[in-house]
């Protein structure tokens, strides 16, 4: 199996996952993302120092611009997760650092507060993995391994990983650095293209 050259832009992909519709994030998502970034849990676990330090009015635009660069460089693919009927933004899911290690990527996700506990994150993460594991000649990325980590004190993220087929691989000591400077232990999970 050959490793795909990711130095070229990724073509936009749209995915269906039952009641969910996934498409690349776009500028029109900024108002909904701004609402999401007011949620303390999303800000704590999914943003990073640059977003936290930005003025609140600029956060969503900055967050979207960072994710848009991923498609353009071929190094990341971030999706808006929408209700397929209403079109409401329910969350986001993506993979980044595509092929930084051969045929691997890192997954991330968040869900709007009112959509949590409904399988949104696990279903959309599964859909992105299926696409990323598919061979290039079938429209996928031909990846072999996708991994993610979450802090131990975020058990909801652990449930998402497990429901999406990510096996627990171990604890990474003090691997997560909060924007406050505090270091936290994380669980490492991974899913392989060969996993059932």
Structural domain includes residue 92: yes
Structural domain includes residue 117: yes
Structural domain includes residue 123: yes
pLDDT, residue 7, reads: 62
3-class SS of residue 138: helix
Q: Decide: 36 and 95 in contact? Cβ < 8 Å.
A: no
Residue 110's region, left for phi above 0, alpha for psi from -120 to 50, else beta, is beta
Structural domain includes residue 182: yes
Q: Which CATH number characterizes residue 111's domain?
A: 3.40.630.30
Closest of 78, 102, 97, 69 to residue 29, by C-alpha: 78
Interacting residues of 3 by C-beta distance below 8 A, sequence separation 6+: 99, 102, 103
Each residue's pLDDT expressed in tens, for the chain with a length of 196 residues: 444 455 688 989 999 999 999 999 999 999 999 999 998 888 888 777 788 888 889 899 988 988 888 898 999 999 999 999 999 999 999 999 999 899 999 999 999 999 999 999 999 999 999 999 999 999 999 999 999 999 999 999 999 999 999 999 999 999 998 888 889 999 999 999 999 7
Structural domain includes residue 94: yes
For the whole model, what pTM was predicted? 0.90
The C-alpha atoms of residue 117 and residue 161 are separated, in whole angstroms, by 13
Give the domain range for residue 148: 15-192
pLDDT, residue 133, reads: 98
Residues in the chain: 196
């Amino acid at each position: 199996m050959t490793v795909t050259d990711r130095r070229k832009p990724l073509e936009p992909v749209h995915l269906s996952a039952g009641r969910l519709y996934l498409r690349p994030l776009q500028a029109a998502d900024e108002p909904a993302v701004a609402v999401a970034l007011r949620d303390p849990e999303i800000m704590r676990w999914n943003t990073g120092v640059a977003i936290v330090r930005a003025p609140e009015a600029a956060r969503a635009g900055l967050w979207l611009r960072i994710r848009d660069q991923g498609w353009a460089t071929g190094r990341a693919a971030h999706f808006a997760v929408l209700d397929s009927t209403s079109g409401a933004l329910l969350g986001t899911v993506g993979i980044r650092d595509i092929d930084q290690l051969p045929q691997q990527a890192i997954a991330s996700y968040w869900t709007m507060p009112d959509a949590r506990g409904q399988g949104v994150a696990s279903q959309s993460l599964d859909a992105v993995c299926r696409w990323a594991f598919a061979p290039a000649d079938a429209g996928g990325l031909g990846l072999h391994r996708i991994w993610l980590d979450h802090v131990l004190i975020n058990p909801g993220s652990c449930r998402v990983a497990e429901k999406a087929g990510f096996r627990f691989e171990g604890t990474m000591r003090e691997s997560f650095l909060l924007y406050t400077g505090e270091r936290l232990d994380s669980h490492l999970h991974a899913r392989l293209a060969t996993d059932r």
